[in-house]
Structure 1
Amino acid sequence: MKKLILSILCVSVLFACRKLDQPITTDYTDAAYWQTQDDALAALASCYENLSDDQYYFGDEALSDNGYVSGIGYKAVSLIAAGAYDPSNLRVSDEWKYRYTCIRKCNIVTNNIDRIPTIDSTLKRRIVAEARFIRAYSYFQLATWFGDVPFYTNLITVEEARNITRSKREDVLSFVESELADIRAALPVNNYSGSAGYSDKDKGRITRGAAIALSARLHMFKSEWQKAITDCELLIGNAANGNYALQSSYANIFSAANEFNNEVIFDIQYGGGRTNSAQRTFMPQTVALLRSTLVPTQDLVDDYIMLNGRGIRETGSGYSENDPYTNRDPRMNATILHHGSTVTDFDGRLQTILTRPGSTPSTNSVDDQGASPTGYYFYKYYDRTATNYNSGLNLIVIRYADVLLMYAEAKNELGQLDAAVWNQTIRALRLRAGFNDAGATEFPGVGQDVLRTIIRRERRSELAFEGVRALDIRRWKIADQVMNRPVRGIKVNGGAFRTDANGYIIVEDRRFINPKHYLWPVPTFERDQNTNLGQNQDW
Structure 2
Amino acid sequence: MKKVNISILLCIFVFWGCEDDLNLISPGEASQTIYWQQERDALLAVNAVYSELDGPQMVQELDAVTDIGFRASSGPGTFHDVGAGTIDPVNDAITSQWNRYYRGVRKANDVITNIDRIKLGDAKVLARLKAEARFLRAFYYTQLSSLWGDVPLILEPLEINDHRGRDAKVKVVDFVISELDLIITSNALPKSYSSADVGRVTHGAALALKARIALRNGRFGVARDAAQAVMNLGVYELYPNYGKLFQYAGENSKEVIFDRQYTVGGNTYNAFAYSAATIGGSSVVEPIHNLFKKYEYKGTVNPNNPYENIDPRWNFTAYYTGEPIGNSVYNSWPDSKTTDRVSANEWATDHGYNLKKWIDYDLDKGNPGIGAINMILIRYADVLLMYAEAKIELNELDQSVYKAINDVRGRPSVEMPPITTGKTQSELRQIVRNERAVELAFEGLRLFDMNRWKIGDEKAGLVQGMYYQAQGSTNWIIWNNGFVRKFRADRDYLWPIPQVEMEINDKITQNPNY
TM above 0.5, yes or no, is yes
Structure 1 residue identity aligned to 2:261? Q
Question: Where do 1:234-313 residues align within 5 Å?
Answer: 234-239=229-234, 243-287=235-279, 289-308=280-299
Structure 2 residue identity aligned to 1:146? W
2:393 corresponding residue in structure 1: 413
1:314 corresponding residue in structure 2: none
Which of 94, 97, 109 aligns to 2:96? It is 94
Q: Is 2:320 the counterpart of 1:334?
A: no
Structure 1 residue identity aligned to 2:451? R
In 2, the alpha carbon distance for the partners of 1:22 and 1:328 equals 41
Question: Where do 1:45-124 residues align within 5 Å?
Answer: 45-72=47-74, 76-124=78-126
1:510 corresponding residue in structure 2: 485
Structure 1 residue identity aligned to 2:441? A
In 1, the alpha carbon distance for the partners of 2:412 and 2:289 equals 21
In 2, the alpha carbon distance for the partners of 1:328 and 1:491 equals 14
In 2, the alpha carbon distance for the partners of 1:399 and 1:74 equals 33
C-alpha displacement of 1:27: 2.2
Q: Is the 8 A contact 1:125 1:186 kept in 2?
A: no
Aligned residue for 1:267, secondary structure, equals strand
Structure 2 residue identity aligned to 1:261? S
In 1, the alpha carbon distance for the partners of 2:408 and 2:333 equals 32
| Cα-to-partner distance string for 1:356-383 (whole Å, 9 max, x where unaligned) | 1112x33112151232111111111102
| Cα-to-partner distance string for 1:473-508 (whole Å, 9 max, x where unaligned) | 0011101x212132211245669xxxxx96431452
Q: Is 2:506 the counterpart of 1:531?
A: yes
Normalised by the size of structure 1, how large is the TM-score?
0.89
Q: Using a 3 Å threshold, how does the CA distance of structure 1 residues 84 and 285 change in structure 2: closer, same or farther?
A: same
Structure 2: give runs of 5+ residues left out of the alignment.
none
C-alpha displacement of 1:436: 5.3
2:461 corresponding residue in structure 1: 485
Structure 2 residue identity aligned to 1:378? L
- CA-based RMSD of the aligned residues comes to 2.1
Q: Using a 3 Å threshold, how does the CA distance of structure 1 residues 37 and 436 change in structure 2: closer, same or farther?
A: closer
1:191 corresponding residue in structure 2: 192
Normalised by the size of structure 2, how large is the TM-score?
0.93
Structure 1: give runs of 5+ residues left out of the alignment.
193-198, 309-317, 345-349, 496-500
In 2, the alpha carbon distance for the partners of 1:517 and 1:366 equals 30
Structure 2 residue identity aligned to 1:333? N
Aligned residue for 2:78, secondary structure, equals helix
2:212 corresponding residue in structure 1: 217
| Cα-to-partner distance string for 1:320-344 (whole Å, 9 max, x where unaligned) | 4531100000111011111101122
Tell which deviates more after alignment, 248-257 or 397-406. Answer: 248-257
Q: Is the 8 A contact 1:151 1:167 kept in 2?
A: yes
1:476 corresponding residue in structure 2: 453
1:363 corresponding residue in structure 2: 339
2:45 corresponding residue in structure 1: 43
C-alpha displacement of 1:388: 1.6
Aligned residue for 2:378, secondary structure, equals strand
Q: Is the 8 A contact 2:352 2:479 kept in 1?
A: no
Q: Is the 8 A contact 1:111 1:154 kept in 2?
A: yes
| Cα-to-partner distance string for 1:383-419 (whole Å, 9 max, x where unaligned) | 2323521211110011000011011111111222234
Q: Is the 8 A contact 1:107 1:155 kept in 2?
A: yes
C-alpha displacement of 1:23: 2.3
C-alpha displacement of 1:282: 1.8
Aligned residue for 1:129, secondary structure, equals helix
2:496 corresponding residue in structure 1: 521
2:29 corresponding residue in structure 1: 27
1:382 corresponding residue in structure 2: 359
Q: Is 2:345 the counterpart of 1:353?
A: no
Aligned residue for 1:416, secondary structure, equals coil
Q: Using a 3 Å threshold, how does the CA distance of structure 1 residues 215 and 507 change in structure 2: closer, same or farther?
A: farther
In 1, the alpha carbon distance for the partners of 2:312 and 2:75 equals 30
In 1, the alpha carbon distance for the partners of 2:268 and 2:130 equals 28
In 2, the alpha carbon distance for the partners of 1:263 and 1:520 equals 31
2:408 corresponding residue in structure 1: 429
| Cα-to-partner distance string for 1:298-352 (whole Å, 9 max, x where unaligned) | 11111111115xxxxxxxxx334531100000111011111101122xxxxx221
1:392 corresponding residue in structure 2: 372
Tell which deviates more after alignment, 205-214 or 291-300. Answer: 291-300
In 1, the alpha carbon distance for the partners of 2:247 and 2:414 equals 22
Q: Is the 8 A contact 1:281 1:292 kept in 2?
A: yes
Aligned residue for 2:172, secondary structure, equals helix
